[in-house]
Structure 1
Amino acid sequence: MKGSNYRVARGMPYARREYVHGSPQPKVSKFTVGNPRGDYDFRLALVSKERAQIRHNALEAARVAANKTIETIGEGNYYLVVKVYPHVILRENKMIATAGADRLQEGMRRAFGKPVGLAARVDHGTTLLEIYVKRDNLELAKRALNVASSKLPVETEIEISEVKPAQAS
């Protein structure tokens, strides 16, 4: 099946892993990369502009692309966070597609299917990725989020906000 078959969120999300045998693990290997305790000036967020499901391999591709772009400044100079978690279990009713098949198999109507992957359901305005950087690396972080957005199946925008230092009381 193609990823576009799972992009639209139809029906209730199927997320109860304890009832699914053979449920796959998420492909996102790290949800946080970099230095979480740095003194950063800016927070850049990649925000979804539409409602959709994002498969776990697309999230991992976006994380890897953003990390590869921004890691040139050194791992201690940024903090990258994947903000969504793929909970929804995707199922597929696999059809027979052998060499001798001259007719299409119809199969059962509304069959349940076997788990084939995971997805994260996002709404309009959901933050997908965040990067924290210093002022000098702002343009590189924007480029990293642009590269990451090309790996995702939704339209996105980049929101930039200044990080306020915590004031001692």
Structure 2
Amino acid sequence: KIVHLTMGNPNGNFKYETRLIALEDAQIRHNALEAARMATNKFLEEKLGGKEYFLKILVYPHHVLREHKIMTGAGADRLSEGMRRAFGRPAGLAARVKKGQNIMILRTAENGLSFAKEALTRGASKMPIPTRIDVITL
């Protein structure tokens, strides 16, 4: 489950903002968001240290994913309800993302810009959808 949505130095005076943008409508599971956060944050901690960046995850996994468990084994066909009352059990959480929506923002100074792009590329590899990285001057 994703716990921290902001990392780094929120009060820093940074010149550049790097954004991870979704290129498709999708549902991103909470464990994919957490994996992307961990990969991005770990790289930035190693390269820049804790005070030289600000990372914020802009989407939150509110949507509950449900799964209808299928019975297996001998006699499963007698006990199975099929699609009757197939509401399912909660299996996880997901964030609903639209095409063009920002998933993460990362603010850095000019000396950390190349590290910021690399960090978001590593985070994007954990996402289930194609993404784009944009750099904006603040």
Fold match by TM threshold 0.5: yes
TM-score (norm 1): 0.75
Report the equivalent of 2:120: 145
Query: How many angstroms apart in 1 are the aligned matches of 2:32 and 2:81?
Result: 30
State the superposition RMSD in angstroms.
1.6
Q: Do residues 60 (structure 1) and 34 (structure 2) align?
A: yes
Match of 1:44 in 2: 18
List gaps (5 residues or longer) in structure 2.
Answer: none
Structure 1 residues 109 and 138, CA, compared in 2 at 3 Å: closer, same or farther? same
- Number of residues paired by the alignment? 135
Per-residue CA shift, 1:16-72, capped at 9, x if unaligned?
xxxxxxxxxxx1110000100001010000000000100000000000010011112
Distance change (3 Å), C-alpha of 1:101 and 1:135: farther
**Runs of 4+ more than 6 Å apart:** none
Stretches of structure 1 lacking an aligned partner (at least 5 in a row): 1-26, 164-169
What residue number does 1:33 align with?
A: 7
Partner residue, 2:102: 127
- 1:93-147 CA distance string (max 9 Å, x none): 111234x5797x6722571111111101111111001110000010011000000
Letter of the structure 2 residue corresponding to residue 114 of structure 1? R
Q: Report the identity percentage.
A: 45
User: TM-score, normalised to structure 2's length?
Assistant: 0.91
For residues 137 and 111 of structure 1, do their structure 2 counterparts lie closer, same or farther at Cα, with a shift above 3 Å needed?
same
Match of 2:70 in 1: 95
Greater share of residues in strand = 2
Partner-residue secondary structure (3-state), 1:75 = coil
